[in-house]
Structure 1
Amino acid sequence: MIDVESTDYLKEELRKIETWENEQKDLWFWEKIGRLPFMLLDKLTPKFIQDKIGLAIDELGNYIQTGGQYLIKEENILKKIAPHTPSNELHVGLLEQVPISQMDKIADEIANSRTKIATVQGATTGIGGIFTLAVDIPVLLGLSLKVLQEISLCYGYDPKEKSERIFIVKCLQFTSSDIVGKKAILDDLSSFHQGSQNQQMISQLQGWREVVTTYRDSFGWKKLFQMIPIAGMIFGAFINRSSISDVAEAGKMLFRKRRIMERLTQIEQGN
């Protein structure tokens, strides 16, 4: 591999990411009782809406195994990073020589774009209160998966691979975990760049439904305000914007860390 950054630069950027990791704090008190509003929501929501949410969550389960309907096409993202490369020559391996600063730029553009989409979507579904909230939850999860896949491609990781989809799920879990959960996930991901993660992490996933439930409940008390028709539009816009922003930030930091550590390893092995 041709060095695209110096060792000193990579180590400094790695220290910045580690500082960010250390700054991740425990959940706010109200976040910890996030399940309570959803217990209330379950009682108030008509059965046909609960069934619809259940079907959407079941469909998301296909993502781990096959990507399902949520697996994105890589060409649009790769074209942003390598705009002068012919379409028939675009592949994730091309990013091996791309500077991390360029990867960061595209990742930031994607995060900003998806955050705006989430804001509009949250405002739209917030208008109808509890009934449109039933639609909002699975859509927000879909947006989260989309932005994490796009960011993974920015740093040269292909979500078509099952191991990368597991990493994406871990990123999603990270955003909704308390301080103990975040530490455990960071420990899980610390050796991911060494290729020793697959079987261990697959065995640790106890089911996509559990992941989705945890993610949903983590912002349950916020969504309670979105149940109010019309006023829910304001809450929905803010909540979805902050949710996708947090997911995108975690994805960028965690994928970026992997790429930096891989490049440091390659430089060390080349010496």
Structure 2
Amino acid sequence: MEYRSEISEELEAWERKITRKSSMVSRSAKRIQNRINGVIPERLHSIVTNSIKTMVQGVLVGSTYTVHPPKKNRSLQVRDQQAKELIRKYKRIAATEGAGTGAGGILLGLADFPLLLSIKMKLLFDLASTYGYDAKKIEERVFILTIFQLAFSSDDTRRKSYRKISSWDESLSQIEVRKKYEEHDWKTFQLEYRDYIDLPKLLQMVPGVGAIVGAYVNYHFLDWLGENAINAYRTRMIKEENQTT
């Protein structure tokens, strides 16, 4: 109870951050990006779309990522500490990967999309285990995808994802969940994700500065994903504990 009180302000600050509107600068950048998307060759859209579709299908089918057994009988404080250690590890991995692909110009810059996606998803699978959830279950895999959308999407999708996480016990059945994701609009999904990361990733392809930008940007993205994952699991665990007391 004492630790819950300590982190309550963090959870409130996170909720405000997630539910507020983007700044005017961000909204203006989004309008510009929408126009840019209209002139980008469809082949490039397809590369990113297929990377994200493959990632999501790999999560749902369960054939792509290693699933560790859920860790039991640990306090929320211990889980948070272990989660933060994991995030630090994955931030270093992502920074190294970003520096390597950033140094290679446009072709390796394109390769960074699936590589970075894989790192992000591996982190989320490890965090599920850390917080005591079995990622072999379809509903836990959808929770992982919801955290991903929470971190990297438009204002509207981000708020919808937050509402789902805040009331996870009211989520869809396994059959409905699977059907929903099989019929997902993959191009819209990838556009939201790519729009979120587009400008820094374009800078990553600039010769001379790509390696520095790639390392910094990837480190930042993993940090942001980790923050959202920790608070999503905190919110879920606290609500489940409150329902059983």
The interval holding the TM-score normalised by the smaller chain is 0.7 to 0.9
Identity %: 25
Superposed counterparts of 1:30-109, under 5 Å: 30=26, 32=30, 33-35=32-34, 42-43=40-41, 53=48, 55-69=50-64, 71-74=65-68, 91-92=69-70, 95=72, 97-109=73-85
Tell me if the contact between 1:14 and 1:257 (Cα under 8 Å) persists in the aligned partners: no
Q: Which has the larger radius of gyration?
A: 1
Deviation track 1:98-127 (CA, whole Å, cap 9, x = no partner) reads: 111110111000000000111111010001
The equivalent of 2:90 in structure 1 is 114
Superposed counterparts of 1:84-233, under 5 Å: 91-92=69-70, 95=72, 97-192=73-168, 194=169, 196-199=170-173, 205=181, 206-208=184-186, 210-233=188-211
CA drift at 1:154: 1.0
CA drift at 1:215: 1.1
Output the CA distance in 2 between the equivalents of 1:159 and 1:231.
38
Output the CA distance in 1 between the equivalents of 2:179 and 2:76.
32
Output the CA distance in 1 between the equivalents of 2:34 and 2:137.
33
The equivalent of 2:222 in structure 1 is 244
- 3-state DSSP of counterpart to 1:143: helix
- So what's the TM-score if we normalise by structure 2? 0.83
Output the CA distance in 2 between the equivalents of 1:26 and 1:130.
33
Check 1:132–1:50 CA distance in 2 against 1; reply closer, same or farther (3 A cut): farther
Structure 2 residue ranges without an equivalent (≥5): none
Q: Which runs of 4+ in 1 moved over 6 A?
A: none
- So what's the TM-score if we normalise by structure 1? 0.76
Q: CA RMSD in A?
A: 2.7
Structure 1 residue ranges without an equivalent (≥5): 1-5, 75-90
Tell me if the contact between 2:51 and 2:113 (Cα under 8 Å) persists in the aligned partners: no
- 3-state DSSP of counterpart to 1:219: helix
Deviation track 1:172-195 (CA, whole Å, cap 9, x = no partner) reads: 111123443322221122221x3x
Check 1:139–1:162 CA distance in 2 against 1; reply closer, same or farther (3 A cut): same
Tell me if the contact between 2:90 and 2:123 (Cα under 8 Å) persists in the aligned partners: yes
Of 223, 231, 238, 1:253 maps to 231
How many residue pairs get aligned? The number is: 236
Output the CA distance in 1 between the equivalents of 2:155 and 2:6.
25
Check 1:177–1:230 CA distance in 2 against 1; reply closer, same or farther (3 A cut): same
Output the CA distance in 2 between the equivalents of 1:51 and 1:212.
9
CA drift at 1:146: 1.0
Letter of the structure 2 residue corresponding to residue 198 of structure 1? L
